[in-house]
Structure 1
Amino acid sequence: MMIKRHYLAMIAVALMATSCAPLGSAPAGGQSTSPAAPSTDPKALGVALQGEPQVLITSLGLGNQPNLGGDVQGAMHQKLATLDDRGELHAQLAALPSQDNGDWVVRPDGTMQTTYRLRNDVTWHDGTPLTAKDFIFAHTVTTDPELPVSQGKVAIYIDGLDAPDDHTLVVQWSKTYPFANGIVEDDLGPLPGHLIEEVYRTDKERFQQLPFWTTGFVGVGPYQMDEWVLGSHMTVKAYDRFYAGRAKIDTITFRFVENAPTVVANLIAGALDGAIPAAMDFQQSFLVKTEWDILG
């Protein structure tokens, strides 16, 4: 059987976030063709992850491998904005504020105000609408001195947040922050207050142990948690109500693999479709690519 796979240096956003069907090629020579029946077979992707995440929201330092959580977080969660592989900024959960549209105000004393106008079609994976209060709650959590939170890159510049309505988030800045038009860090990302805020207010120790941070994660991204088998794998499935449309890949399974040789063997055998970058070094990646090229 001819095998032709594209080496996955990382999980591409295109595989996780877009549901638009690829454009078909025009028939050659002016010939007309009947459209092919859409496939009903589930589309699945298997990816190696070297190690097992201990936490999925990386800004809350509850685990000692935050990089692994960050590797899979993008499949299940989103932020105000994101950077593509060329470093270009793109809106996610809110329109990008600018001085031209009046949503980014820089005062003479260097303080600032930015207004993020949230999308009104975003829901958490349990169906609850995303609101500006979810960002305020998250900021409260990630700046709480009683929690083992990571040092925020953005939070130290923020004087306060306000939600004049469910879809408007206003941020006051204590000094000029040049990247305020698109916050891509976790410390100004949303958390589902309707699910976990009551525990946070009453028992912070239990709050840190909630299944939400791991096996019970609920986000706003293109994929939702399907299962997490400790010591084995995590499977996420396409979220039907994702605002940009259902993802084209139905499921992604992240398999926890402890060593690179096992990753290489599984990739060459076709048991896996790709690997998170840290799972293999350059030479191992080159070996896999060479084998795939030989197989066709």
Structure 2
Amino acid sequence: MRPSRVLLTFIAVLALVLPSLAACAPAPAPTPTPAPKAAEKPAEAKPAEQAKPAPTPTPVPAPSPTPTVAAKPAAPSRLVIVMGQQPDTLHPGIGSMMAKTEVEYALFAWPVVFNDKGEYIPWGVEQVPTLDNGGARFVGEGDDRHLEVTYKIKKGNKWHDGTPVTAKDMRYQWELYLDPKFPIADRSLIQKVYDVTVVDEQTAVYKFMSARQAREAAQKGFRGLDAKEYADFKDQKDPVVDPLYWTVGGYLPSHILSKIPADQQEASEFARKPIGNGPYKFKEWVPDQSITLEANPDFFLGAPKIQTVVFRIIKDTNAQLAALQAGEVDVVTQVQGPDLDKAPELDRLAAQGTYKPYYIPGTPWEHIDFNLDNEHLKDVRVRKAIAHAINREQLVEKVLYGKSRVAHSWIMPGSPAWAYDESCLVKYEYNPEKAKQLLAEAGYKPGPDGILVKDGKKLTLKLSTTDAALRKTTAQIIQQQLKQVGIDLQLEFLPGRGLFETKGPLRQRTFELGMYTWLSLPDPDRIDYMHSKNIPSPANNFTGNNFPGWRNPKADQLAVRGSQSLSEKERKPIYCELQRLWTDELPVLPLFQRVVVTVARANLENYRPTGSSTPETWNIHEWVLRS
């Protein structure tokens, strides 16, 4: 399954990609990923200071699965993984919390996975289908020409109840995600697929829309989705494609979920006790305390080396540190775990030799969403004034110990290298006087208490964010900085789940300013939070991640063009123009890149955390805890 274009995320994705507290530090531009090569023995994880940022990915073969023998003795071991948030759900198609993604990758083995080397590797299928290896190809002529992507499921890939994973499960997932009643966060990729053909039990062919089919969808809608979902295709002249077309494939247990209506799956037992196909099986979920999994001895990539995995929910970072110091836990993830503000304590633990902290350069970026329907924030001068009033360099120095840098776009330097260009950006230097000037131009005047007033209304705004320590510190600094220019900023700290859930302030768009992290994909296409059709609302069942409510026809057009081209040469000017438009209208204020901070026992082998929206647990079946 393709990682969510959201936070997944964390990301959320997701995740993922999906709202984690991952962070990013300066890093050199990535080098090209080598061509597909023979399988290598997985390398032992190294400290982050030796790590490199994920390069622009090229699909490569996966490591060969570890052969299993008839008798599979259970590993007599237990591992405790700490997360600072509880997942909102364990249904793979719903939600975008990074906490969910961490657990999900232990429960499910998706067709294609993005690894720690910045490569797409085949996990649940035999190869990553590309145009180069023949797994993908264009078929037909003229208006009927279309892209076909073929997946062949690996033998032995089966659900935890023993039912084989089949091509019917791939078709079912496509059908479910296109159901307008299903509360998926992002269907921008899957809705480009016109059909999924079941060739045999192990083979499925994803057929992307031809130009003719796309134009018809723009006129009549498609499979229950409204025609407006396809409005961008009304003049389509070329086959519909996607830059990450090889990630379109996914599967879900159709023999279970097909019996549950799409609009009831979020509240179903499956969402709390899923049946996956991954290295671990679900055992127990104690709300706000823990999620326990047991090893799947029949996992098709090889039985896990650790028998029991417990995801322990510890929301307070000081309590997490105490658990590390007491030796009670084995791994602390990036999900609201210790951030760079705890680096001195983590380094002292490392000096003792029991634990190893990782500070991994990555692509997550912290930002503030502006609700453009707010009476104050709908004026771009107010948004730009806020940008000039926030000293982001100071945030990097005080909050991140100078180990990161200010962000100016949703595209981070080197991710990918061809898409980031300083000349394409409108930047906002720290300039309180400029901020005051813009606010005066917008009609605001100082009140008796120093807070600006317009038409009898104070310039009071509420910033909603999570209750993580680093975010609290960041928000409090911003509060003081905005006060200096006459803006009264109220702070609201919510549990991660409360901020991101379907009924939360972001998706319901009841927030005014929202601060959280996006987990960037290794591609600049973020149509899910750029396009106006992805503004969550009752009309679209609150799908999409355009929380600010940015509506710009030109941006819509550019986002669609960029998402449908496979040529970097063609895409570069498209994303240059889109970045200039986005940074000028400023629906979102990027704050800083973040560094992914995670901690593991020094004797935990094959722990290979990534700097992307791929969670630490992506290869959990390979982990070995040495005595």
Which bin holds the TM-score, normalised by the shorter protein? 0.7 to 0.9
Q: For 1:197, which of 252, 255, 258 is the aligned residue?
A: 258
Q: 1:98 — aligned with what?
A: 130
* One-letter amino acid of the counterpart of residue 106, structure 1: F
The answer to whether the 8 A contact 1:114-1:172 is kept is yes
* One-letter amino acid of the counterpart of residue 193, structure 1: S
- What TM-score does the superposition give when structure 1 sets the normalisation length? 0.78
Q: 2:274 aligned with 1:217, yes or no?
A: yes
* One-letter amino acid of the counterpart of residue 94, structure 2: L
Q: 2:108 — aligned with what?
A: 77
* One-letter amino acid of the counterpart of residue 124, structure 1: W
The answer to whether the 8 A contact 2:157-2:165 is kept is yes
**Structure 1's 170 and 18: CA in aligned 2 closer, same or farther, altered over 3 A?**
closer
Corresponding residue SS for 2:321: helix
**Structure 1's 117 and 19: CA in aligned 2 closer, same or farther, altered over 3 A?**
closer
CA distance in 1, matches of 2:187, 2:337: 27
Deviations 1:80-118 (A, max 9, x none): 110111211110111222335533112465620111111
Corresponding residue SS for 2:241: coil
* One-letter amino acid of the counterpart of residue 74, structure 1: Y
* One-letter amino acid of the counterpart of residue 323, structure 2: N
- What TM-score does the superposition give when structure 2 sets the normalisation length? 0.38
Q: 2:342 aligned with 1:284, yes or no?
A: yes
Deviations 1:18-56 (A, max 9, x none): 7689xxxxxxxxxxxxxxxxx987111111111211212
Q: 2:63 aligned with 1:51, yes or no?
A: no
The answer to whether the 8 A contact 1:97-1:116 is kept is yes
1:194 to partner: Cα distance: 0.8
1:138 to partner: Cα distance: 1.2
The answer to whether the 8 A contact 2:74-2:297 is kept is no
Q: 1:266 — aligned with what?
A: 323
The answer to whether the 8 A contact 1:60-1:150 is kept is yes
Q: For 1:159, which of 185, 194, 210 is the aligned residue?
A: 194
**Structure 1's 18 and 265: CA in aligned 2 closer, same or farther, altered over 3 A?**
farther
Query: Relative contact order (C-alpha < 8 Å, sep 6+): which is higher?
Result: 1
CA distance in 1, matches of 2:83, 2:172: 31
Deviations 1:106-142 (A, max 9, x none): 2465620111111121110011111011111111112
1:193 to partner: Cα distance: 1.0
Corresponding residue SS for 2:258: helix
Q: For 1:67, which of 98, 115, 122 is the aligned residue?
A: 98
Q: Name the % identity.
A: 24
Q: 1:231 — aligned with what?
A: 288
**Structure 1's 18 and 116: CA in aligned 2 closer, same or farther, altered over 3 A?**
closer
Q: 2:335 aligned with 1:293, yes or no?
A: no
1:152 to partner: Cα distance: 2.4
Corresponding residue SS for 1:291: helix
CA distance in 1, matches of 2:47, 2:107: 19
Q: 2:162 — aligned with what?
A: 127
Q: 2:300 aligned with 1:243, yes or no?
A: yes
CA distance in 2, matches of 1:87, 1:255: 28
CA distance in 1, matches of 2:98, 2:266: 18
Deviations 1:196-253 (A, max 9, x none): 21222xxx44333211111x21101111112111221011111011001111111111
Corresponding residue SS for 1:237: strand
CA distance in 2, matches of 1:199, 1:173: 27
Q: 1:28 — aligned with what?
A: none
1:66 to partner: Cα distance: 2.3
* One-letter amino acid of the counterpart of residue 109, structure 2: Q
1:195 to partner: Cα distance: 1.3
Corresponding residue SS for 1:54: coil
CA distance in 1, matches of 2:156, 2:67: 17
CA distance in 2, matches of 1:286, 1:20: 43
CA distance in 1, matches of 2:149, 2:185: 24
Q: 1:141 — aligned with what?
A: 176
* One-letter amino acid of the counterpart of residue 77, structure 2: K
Runs of 4+ in 1 over 4 A off after TM superposition: 6-9, 17-21, 107-110
Q: For 1:256, which of 280, 303, 313 is the aligned residue?
A: 313
Q: 1:180 — aligned with what?
A: 245
**Structure 1's 93 and 227: CA in aligned 2 closer, same or farther, altered over 3 A?**
same
Aligned residues between the structures? 256
Aligned CA RMSD, in angstroms, stands at 2.7
CA distance in 2, matches of 1:102, 1:20: 27
The answer to whether the 8 A contact 2:120-2:128 is kept is no
Q: 2:264 — aligned with what?
A: 206
CA distance in 2, matches of 1:130, 1:249: 24
